């Protein structure tokens, strides 16, 4: 097999109809996911029974995630041909997750996609080297241990992506007006939800405490569930013993999008909400592909990129195993290490033109009982 030398050459294998994105289809998914979110809020407003709360929080977090993926596709211009419709849908679908479109496009579309897995540029789950970790204060080390644990992905996402990139980042002058507009929209939406939920809670319980509880159970908790889901999702898309980060001349656009991303096969009931977001390598190669065509695009790309594009079955215990192995990254040796600086995996192949199959990298670097 001849490995293509550029992203354009690699994506030439994708059928033209994988870019078809009729407006009715995107709007139908938007209506479906909005209905799921509304159903979750209705459940949470109607009962305080533990079963209802757990069901509402799970459905709410998943529904916010589903809307977020639609907004993500619209922000890339993949969900609709019309740019105005894309921006309008993205802003609307981002509201439950409290994301500002302009800030997301700057950080995600331009930086993360443009410099995937590139040292000191890509900010999404950027690894710390053993030398950097040794220089951290005790408090910073504790924070790193929490955020890079299986349970800490939501905390990492809140601090590093949502707060630092969505709400706090000072934009360049030419993006300042767009940032202010979209952040104001998010703040206005959050304030409107706060007022509405407080009023509903006071009306139901007859106290301001009841209003506060309604805000927590129907607004804050589903959002926090979403942040853990999206934090974990981005982690498994770009962090794994078989995924490499690169610095200097070792980084190339094609290597970044193929060698630095993962493609997973998840259970159908989860994919109902996650909209093929785990079929990630084809999306990085060409973000113009709408989510519902990503499996076909991945199958077509196998012809030029081999089994790297073939989805590998994802399991929660694989994620947990990865969080135990991938703590620090040695850029010189191209390998992940634990906090004790003991190598857990072999160096990722870096021969010129070599793009190892993702499923082969997994099988080579995980214990046998975690591979299937």
pLDDT above 90 for 350: no
Domain ranges in the chain are 18-370
Confidence bin at 333 (pLDDT 50/70/90): confident
**259-273, 299-313, 340-354: which has the minimum mean pLDDT?**
340-354
Q: What is the pLDDT of residue 2?
A: 58
User: Tell me: the pLDDT tens digits for 180-191?
Assistant: 999 999 999 999
Owner of token pair 């529904």: 63
**159-163, 164-168, 222-226: which has the minimum mean pLDDT?**
164-168
For residues 30-46, average pLDDT: 98
pLDDT above 70 for 130: yes
CA 26 from chain center: how many Å? 20
Q: What is the pLDDT of residue 147?
A: 97
Q: What is the pLDDT of residue 9?
A: 84
- Tell me the backbone φ, ψ of residue 80, rounded to 5 degrees: -140, 150
Nearest to 34 by CA among 84, 68, 72, 83: 68
pLDDT above 80 for 346: no
- Tell me the backbone φ, ψ of residue 322, rounded to 5 degrees: -65, -40
- Tell me the backbone φ, ψ of residue 56, rounded to 5 degrees: -65, -40
Confidence bin at 1 (pLDDT 50/70/90): low
Q: Does pTM top 0.85 for this prediction?
A: yes
For the chain, the average pLDDT equals 89
Q: What is the pLDDT of residue 169?
A: 86
Confidence bin at 345 (pLDDT 50/70/90): very low
What are the angstrom distances between the C-alpha of 65 and each of 72, 102, 133, 275? 10, 19, 32, 9
- Tell me the backbone φ, ψ of residue 329, rounded to 5 degrees: -125, 130
**41-50, 159-168, 225-234, 355-364: which has the minimum mean pLDDT?**
355-364
For residues 70-91, average pLDDT: 97
User: Tell me: the pLDDT tens digits for 265-309?
Assistant: 999 999 999 999 999 989 999 999 999 999 999 999 888 887 777
Nearest to 150 by CA among 322, 27, 333, 320: 320
């Amino acid at each position: 097999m001849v490995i293509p030398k550029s992203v354009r050459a690699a994506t030439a294998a994708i059928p033209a109809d994988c870019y078809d994105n009729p407006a009715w289809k995107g709007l139908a998914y938007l209506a479906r996911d909005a209905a799921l979110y509304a159903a979750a809020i209705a459940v949470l407003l109607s009962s305080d029974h533990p079963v209802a709360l757990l069901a509402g929080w799970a459905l709410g977090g998943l529904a916010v995630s589903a809307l977020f993926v639609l907004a993500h596709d619209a922000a890339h211009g993949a969900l609709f041909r019309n740019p105005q419709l894309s921006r309008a849908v993205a802003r609307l679908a981002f509201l439950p997750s409290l994301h500002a479109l302009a800030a997301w496009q700057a950080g995600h579309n331009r930086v993360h996609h443009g410099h995937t897995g590139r040292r000191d540029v890509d900010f999404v789950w950027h690894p710390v080297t053993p030398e950097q970790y040794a220089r951290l204060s005790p408090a910073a080390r504790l924070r790193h241990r929490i955020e890079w644990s299986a349970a800490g992905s939501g905390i990492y996402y809140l601090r590093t992506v949502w707060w630092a990139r969505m709400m706090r980042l000072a934009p360049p002058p030419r993006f300042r007006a767009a940032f202010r507009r979209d952040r104001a929209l998010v703040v206005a939406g959050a304030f409107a939800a706060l007022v509405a939920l407080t009023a509903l809670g006071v009306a139901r319980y007859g106290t301001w405490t009841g209003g506060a509880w309604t805000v927590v159970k129907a607004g804050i908790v589903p959002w926090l569930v979403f942040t853990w889901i999206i934090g974990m999702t981005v982690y498994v898309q770009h962090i794994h013993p078989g995924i490499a980060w690169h610095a200097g001349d070792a980084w190339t656009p094609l290597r970044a999008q193929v060698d630095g991303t993962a493609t997973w096969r998840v259970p159908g009931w989860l994919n109902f909400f996650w909209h093929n977001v785990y079929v990630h390598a084809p999306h990085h190669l060409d973000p113009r592909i709408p989510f519902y065509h990503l499996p076909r695009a991945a199958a077509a790309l196998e012809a030029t990129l081999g089994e790297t594009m073939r989805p590998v079955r994802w399991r929660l215990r694989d994620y947990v195993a990865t969080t135990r192995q991938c703590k620090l990254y040695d850029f010189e040796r191209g390998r992940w290490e634990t906090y004790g600086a003991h190598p857990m995996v072999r160096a990722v192949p870096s021969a010129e033109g070599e793009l190892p199959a993702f499923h082969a990298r997994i099988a080579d670097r995980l214990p046998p009982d975690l591979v299937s």
